[in-house]
Structure 1
Amino acid sequence: MDIRDDLGAIMNECREVTEKYRTGRSAYLRLGQLFMRLFAGLL
């Protein structure tokens, strides 16, 4: 029951990933995210 309630609470906070969300990032933000993904394996 706790897991179901927790999942319901999380789903209320979620938002759908649309094309606008995916492409709405600036070039600087995408470049920063690229570097973070490269170094994430080292942590």
Structure 2
Amino acid sequence: MLIFGTTVIGARDVRRATNFWAEALGLTAGEPFGDNDFTNLYLP
């Protein structure tokens, strides 16, 4: 299993950034959780 991770700091609109990267990378965004909208991106 391959796990790839990155941290984005300073995004003004986390959900918009998540949707952008999910679409750009051909992935699916999971549901945000936690106080900071932490989200995982998954293979479809």
User: What is the TM-score normalised by the length of structure 1?
Assistant: 0.31
RCO greater where, 1 or 2, for CA within 8 Å and sep 6 or more? 2
Q: Which has the larger radius of gyration?
A: 1
User: What is the TM-score normalised by the length of structure 2?
Assistant: 0.30
Structure with greater helix percent: 1
